[in-house]
Structure 1
Amino acid sequence: MKRLVAIAALLVAAVPAAASASPITGLWATGSEGGKVEIYRCGEALCGRIVDARRLRANPDLRDVRNADRSLRNRRLKGLVVLRDFRGGPREWKGGPVYDPESGDGAATGYLTLRADGKLEVKGCKAAIFCRTKTWTRLR
């Protein structure tokens, strides 16, 4: 009987964790410069941070030197949050801001779309008609 109670307790504890998981949390290849971004829960939303890139392997102390805002150029790229406050799901999320450290450009609004083939479209928009989309691939 004690064993049955322990199993039931484990199952009940696992339900909230499974319910809070998102199909896009985890590690994604950005498709450029060997970049890898981790999408993770940040409160009730989803965020994404840089965890790896070819240039970071050569110099782990790289800074955000391409940022248009001079006051932010001393930030380290490794660990830099590039996606913030995305909500929605299970296939589409909206949030922002979105930041591209390769160009130093940011967008106030972003969209994440999980495609049927398992790839993730990451779209940043400065205005309704000024958007840029990149396709990321899940890493196992």
Structure 2
Amino acid sequence: MSRFVMAIAAAGLFAMPATASAADITGIWATGTEGGRVQIYRCGAALCGKIVGASRLRGNPDLRDERNSDTKLRTRKIKGLVVLRGFTGGPREWKGGPVYDPETGDGAPTGHLKLLAAGKLELKGCVAVFCRTKVWTKVS
């Protein structure tokens, strides 16, 4: 009888729908522009994201954050630059911020991440009531 119960329990585990977790959102994501790659990782109890690649970085790995509106930050290296900070929540949506886009030099104090189907991640950054949304694709 115990083998039967174990078999039913095991079958139930395999039949359960997959749920998104922090492990699903961590990893490398293609940003969709300029060959960008962002690694989302655990930073304490939250999630953060840093730039790990881009088309322009392959040509110049020492590329700096020249488009930043804060002139004091323009000497920062793009590779390794943290562009997402302090995102908490889950299992499918996280909120946090700030969010930064080195392609434009724009940032937002708050952001929202939403795990979509088929390895897609929606990233929304908002300043007051004005928001900008991008969809990233998980890199396997």
**TM-score, with length taken from structure 2:** 0.84
Structure 1's unaligned 5+ residue stretches are: 1-19
What are the within-5 Å matches in structure 2 for residues 1-140 of structure 1?
21-127=22-128, 129-140=129-140
Cα distance in 1, alignment partners of residues 22 and 110 from structure 2: 23
> Contact between 2:113 and 2:124, CA under 8 Å: does it hold in 1?
yes
Amino acid at match of 1:98: V
Structure 2's unaligned 5+ residue stretches are: 1-20
CA-CA distance at 1:21 after TM superposition: 4.6
What percentage of aligned pairs have identical amino acids?
73
**1:86-138 deviation line (CA, Å, top 9, x unaligned):** 000110000000000000000000000001232000100011x2000000000
Amino acid at match of 1:51: V
**TM-score, with length taken from structure 1:** 0.84
Cα distance in 2, alignment partners of residues 69 and 23 from structure 1: 34
Matched length: 120
Amino acid at match of 1:135: V
Cα distance in 1, alignment partners of residues 68 and 32 from structure 2: 20
Tell me how large the CA RMSD over aligned residues is: 1.0
Which aligned runs of 4 or more in structure 1 are off by greater than 6 angstroms? Answer: none
Between 1:109-118 and 1:84-93, the stretch displaced more is 109-118
Cα distance in 1, alignment partners of residues 119 and 42 from structure 2: 19
Cα distance in 2, alignment partners of residues 54 and 118 from structure 1: 22
CA-CA distance at 1:23 after TM superposition: 1.6
> Contact between 1:96 and 1:107, CA under 8 Å: does it hold in 2?
yes
Cα distance in 2, alignment partners of residues 62 and 52 from structure 1: 11
- The structure having more radius of gyration, on CA atoms, is 2
